[in-house]
Amino acid sequence: MTLNDLDKNDHFVALFLGKQGTGKDVAVASLAKKYIEAKKKLLIWDIDQRARGILGAADFLDKSILDNIEVDQDFDVGKGYAGLEKKLELLLAYQNSGQVRYGGLVIDSASTMQKMLLFDSIRLKGQQDSSKGRIRGTVKFTSPDDYLYASMAFQQFMYNGFKLLKMDVVMSGWIVDRWGKDKSEKNEYAANVVLGSKMLATEKLAEEIPGCFDEVYVFGKEDTGISSRPLKYYVEFESDVAKTARPKLKNKGQVDLTNKNFIDVYTSLINGTYKG
């Protein structure tokens, strides 16, 4: 296998991260264009119950893209792991019988999914002695083994399910600023500063979840200071959070997405036809 073979792999398992308003939903919606010729659809698991943002972005791009998206909003957070597992098993069963009608699956979002798994762990364990800090009134609190449950459940979804699908799999998620002490600061009482970014999740899961994906792309925007083009939208394939295993995406810095379709830019980068 050559480096070019890695770049041209038909399917990817990717995590799309970004703050609100950075074009993440537009990028997710653009994936539907990739499957039109193959007469397959983009399936969105709307765990967040906020698919309107993605559908609005699709309609903004092109009506044919909007028509090629199917949304599943039938998610009961109370069913936790078992509910998602049944949906995943159904997709794998259809795949094994040759009845796959989807070119890609989007799970929206990773942040809500990890919260759901934490609540699932608390529910499965049941009530415990309030003296241990597990219950205050009617509110239940998480413990270290709840985070272990969420971590293991997430990894099982990835390696026993999503990575077995013969389609693109994309999970969306939020990022937030990562605060801490500047290592060069000698004053122990100095204020915390922004050191970079991290995924919106509990500390341990924020470190573990991105590692489950082959690709992690971070979407952002910045003020250009130019009145005719005040905002620049971009994607990063390598940064303090982003990572890629695809040689042709490495060392690209910020790739401009302003007034561009993400999947078109992505495809041109992989094919070596990107002109900036």
| Per-position DSSP letters for 57-109, written without gaps between them | HHHHH-HHHHHTEEEE----GGGHHHHHHHHHHHHHHHHHTT---EEEEEEE-
Among the ranges given (4-18, 49-63, 66-80, 171-185), the one the predictor scored with the smallest mean pLDDT: 4-18
What stretch of H or E contains 265?
Answer: helix 262-271
User: pLDDT band at residue 129, thresholds of 50, 70 and 90?
Assistant: very low
Q: For residue range 183-197, what is the model confidence (pLDDT) as tens digits?
A: 777 787 788 888 888
- The CA–CA distances, whole Å, from 273 to 48, 160, 234, 254, 268 equal 36, 35, 18, 17, 5
- Average pLDDT on 82-103 reads 91
**How many other β-carbons are positioned within 10 Å of the β-carbon of residue 155?**
14
The residue ranking higher by pLDDT, 11 or 267, is: 267
User: pLDDT band at residue 10, thresholds of 50, 70 and 90?
Assistant: low
Tokens at 184, concatenated? 């060069």
Provide the pLDDT for residue 135: 66
Q: For residue range 149-170, what is the model confidence (pLDDT) as tens digits?
A: 999 999 999 999 999 999 999 9
Q: For residue range 11-42, what is the model confidence (pLDDT) as tens digits?
A: 789 999 999 899 999 999 999 999 998 999 99
The 8-class DSSP code of residue 241 comes to: S
Tokens at 30, concatenated? 């653009």
Beta-carbon-side half-sphere exposure of residue 256 (alpha carbons within 13 Å): 9
Residue type, 3: L
Cβ–Cβ < 8 Å for 88, 105 = no
**How many other β-carbons are positioned within 10 Å of the β-carbon of residue 205?**
21
- Residue 186, helix vs strand vs coil: coil
Ordered by start, the domain boundaries in the chain are 3-271
The 8-class DSSP code of residue 41 comes to: E
**Fold entry, domain 3-271:** Rossmann fold (3.40.50)
Q: Tell me how far apart the alpha carbons of residues 109 and 90 are, in angstroms, rounded to a whole number.
A: 20
Instruction: Find, among 193, 175, 276, 205, the residue nearest to 234 by Cα.
Output: 276
Give the dihedral sign, CA 268/270/271/276.
positive
pLDDT score of 128 more than 60 = no
- Average pLDDT on 228-253 reads 91
- Residue 247, helix vs strand vs coil: helix
User: pLDDT band at residue 244, thresholds of 50, 70 and 90?
Assistant: very high
Q: For residue range 197-219, what is the model confidence (pLDDT) as tens digits?
A: 888 888 788 888 999 998 999 99
- Residue 222, helix vs strand vs coil: strand
Q: Tell me how far apart the alpha carbons of residues 149 and 31 are, in angstroms, rounded to a whole number.
A: 32
pLDDT score of 126 more than 80 = no
Provide the pLDDT for residue 204: 82
Among the ranges given (43-47, 71-75, 130-134, 138-142), the one the predictor scored with the smallest mean pLDDT: 130-134
- Average pLDDT on 230-250 reads 92
Q: Tell me how far apart the alpha carbons of residues 182 and 65 are, in angstroms, rounded to a whole number.
A: 45
Instruction: Find, among 220, 172, 213, the residue nearest to 197 by Cα.
Output: 220
- Average pLDDT on 232-251 reads 92
- Average pLDDT on 1-12 reads 55
CA dihedral 74, 77, 83, 84 (to 10 degrees): 80
Cβ–Cβ < 8 Å for 113, 201 = no
Among the ranges given (51-60, 228-237, 252-261), the one the predictor scored with the smallest mean pLDDT: 51-60
Provide the pLDDT for residue 269: 94
Residues pairing with 107 in the sheet: 45, 171
Average pLDDT value over all residues in the chain: 86
Predicted TM-score of the model (pTM): 0.87
